[in-house]
Structure 1
Amino acid sequence: MLKQYLFCLMIFGLATQAGAGDTPLLKLDTADDGRGWEAVGRLEIGQEAFCTGSLIEEDLVLTAAHCLFTKSTGAPVNPGEIEFRAGWRNGRAEAYRRVRRAVVHPDYVFGGDVVSDRVRNDVALLQLDRPIRTTAVTPFETDVGRSSGQAVGIVSYAHDRADAPSLQQVCNVMGYQAGMLVTSCNVDFGSSGSPIFSFDGDQPRIVSVVSAKARIDGDPVALGTELSRPLNELRDILAHDDEMFLRAPVAGNAVSQDEGRRASGAKFVKP
């Protein structure tokens, strides 16, 4: 297990240097700054946590699977206790919707030990109780993942910037392996599920969602899930299964999210 973990880090360490060419975070705290990003919103998880999610259809929100589990017990969160606040900024949102169904990838294991296995399946779809049909909120399209050295961007919330989203216009894909992207994007607690964008073409397209943050040789990095395979599988499950919540297995030897894992100066935690 440890050897596989170290192997992944060594491969990614050969890629683009963390932070090279990255732009700083820009807080989108005015209507003008946030225009076009209203489909990114805060996910209120019960009364004690939040993540970031993004609207990809009128009634579908994309986020990270681990957001839908209670940290202390590993139990799935009741979808009815989740609210999506589209374009949340300074105490108000463009739209408020409760969640009717939540589907996590069937291969996702909450608290699993192998970083690459956990991250590549750390994705979920939330079906809203009502579609969001307003000209102020336009769902994002998705695209295939980026390769090493390509520029991406991210819009996210975090614990220290929870009142408005922040845009990082340029960060970089440092490495890619088997469905997991390592990027130099700036994330923190609350950024889980944040969309990572490609800016190729006329409109930004989501190529990944944030799963975890890490440090490699002292440099902060963000781990993301490449979407093409797991997202198609989730759409198929949602279309053919009427379960309220599809449970993901919980690892028998799950570790605390706050413990992380330490090796060669690297620490992985959930943002």
Structure 2
Amino acid sequence: MKRLLFLLATLALHAAYADSAKQQRTLFFGKDDRVKIRPHAQPWRAIGQIETASGQICTGSLIAADLILTAGHCFLNEDGKLDAATLFSLALDGEQATIRVRPARVYVEQRLFDGIKIRADGMIIAPEVAAFDYAFVSLAQPLPQKFKPLPVFQGSGRTLRDALQRKHWRVSQAGYPIDDDSHLSAHLNCRVTAQFADGRLGHQCDTLPGDSGSPLLLIHGKYAEIIAIQSSAPDAANRAQADNMALSTPAWQTALKRLQNQRR
């Protein structure tokens, strides 16, 4: 098993690597509600796994023919330096992937790195920089047209709140977690519990290390759109005090548009 980036929590809650099955179960909300998904159709086919130079892994989503969306903290190594992306495996299913491609560049906010504290057993993101926990990874070459990117929710925090209300605050999440990092696991119809002014969403989707950067989706029949990416979770001991945190599209929408304009 690859060495994983074990994550963090905002609001001064420390997150540690779940080094036992019991601790992993504690990170879930009562029970493990995840299901295995074969990523052979949308939206699951556009979700993949990112590996870095140090061997850390996170989950990423194809949002353009040559662009991946994931979490920014995925690219900070133990020495506090940029940990370059080395491989993106799209629609990984066991030993098979639909395609494996080489990343070219990581776009991440330096302000995020400035606000991360590294400890022997994990990381903590200062609350004032939590809204910068996103990254875009460009690929060395665009993927063929048959690989369809996932659309990103467009709109303000208020527009997103209205969309979530129409769905009764239910979303779906999918990623490549530590307990089976070669198969896609999804928590369907999980609950968003809070929306914060800085763009974060509290939620109760069952995630583990390796799910960092995984998409939270609003699904409308056969159509799905990314509304947020998984950012952080408390450690097992603090599960009762805090939900997981995701970073919603209004927090990074402007940065994405700026990047797209620069690359034209």
* Normalised TM-score (structure 2): 0.74
Structure-2 separation of matches of 1:207 and 1:200: 13
Offset of residue 219 of structure 1: 6.4
2:204 aligned partner, one-letter code: S
Q: What SS does structure 1 have at the residue aligned with 2:69? A: strand
Q: Give the alignment partner of residue 224 of structure 1, picking from 246, 249, 252.
A: 246
Offset of residue 5 of structure 1: 3.7
Q: Give the alignment partner of residue 88 of structure 2, picking from 84, 91, 107.
A: 84
Of residues 100-109 and 186-195 in structure 1, the stretch that sits farther from structure 2 once superposed is 100-109
Change (3 A) 1:238 1:138: closer
Residue in structure 1 matched with residue 33 of structure 2 by the alignment: 24
Q: What SS does structure 2 have at the residue aligned with 1:83? A: strand
Offset of residue 77 of structure 1: 1.7
CA contact (8 A) 2:132 2:251 kept: no
Residue in structure 2 matched with residue 95 of structure 1 by the alignment: 99
Offset of residue 208 of structure 1: 0.4
Q: Summarize deviations over 1:47-94 as a string: whole Å, max 9, x none.
A: 521100000011010000000111x11101234xx2110001111111
Counting matched residue pairs gives: 220
Structure-1 separation of matches of 2:144 and 2:133: 28
Structure-2 separation of matches of 1:206 and 1:217: 25
Structure-2 separation of matches of 1:65 and 1:51: 10
2:104 aligned partner, one-letter code: R
Q: Give the alignment partner of residue 139 of structure 1, picking from 149, 164, 169.
A: 149
Q: What SS does structure 2 have at the residue aligned with 1:199? A: strand
CA contact (8 A) 1:123 1:231 kept: no
Residue in structure 1 matched with residue 116 of structure 2 by the alignment: 111
Q: What SS does structure 2 have at the residue aligned with 1:48? A: coil
Q: Summarize deviations over 1:88-139 as a string: whole Å, max 9, x none.
A: 111111111111121113542351566543332100101100111152x321
Of residues 224-233 and 113-122 in structure 1, the stretch that sits farther from structure 2 once superposed is 113-122
For 1:132-211, list aligned pairs within 5 A. 132-135=143-146, 137-143=147-153, 144=155, 145-146=160-161, 147=164, 150-178=169-197, 179-200=199-220, 202-211=222-231
Q: Summarize deviations over 1:123-172 as a string: whole Å, max 9, x none.
A: 0101100111152x321001154457510110111111101111111111
CA contact (8 A) 1:168 1:186 kept: yes
Offset of residue 235 of structure 1: 3.4
CA contact (8 A) 1:42 1:88 kept: yes
Structure-1 separation of matches of 2:257 and 2:110: 12
Structure-2 separation of matches of 1:50 and 1:90: 15
CA contact (8 A) 2:177 2:209 kept: yes
Offset of residue 238 of structure 1: 5.4
Change (3 A) 1:184 1:198: same
Q: List gaps (5 residues or longer) in structure 1.
A: 7-17, 243-271
Q: Summarize deviations over 1:170-202 as a string: whole Å, max 9, x none.
A: 111100112111100111111110001012465
Structure-2 separation of matches of 1:115 and 1:150: 27
Offset of residue 35 of structure 1: 2.3
* Normalised TM-score (structure 1): 0.72
Of residues 38-47 and 110-119 in structure 1, the stretch that sits farther from structure 2 once superposed is 110-119
Q: What SS does structure 2 have at the residue aligned with 1:120? A: helix
Structure-2 separation of matches of 1:169 and 1:23: 12
CA contact (8 A) 2:108 2:136 kept: yes
**Pairwise CA RMSD of aligned residues?**
2.8
Structure-2 separation of matches of 1:241 and 1:35: 29
Change (3 A) 1:74 1:131: same
Of residues 55-64 and 198-207 in structure 1, the stretch that sits farther from structure 2 once superposed is 198-207
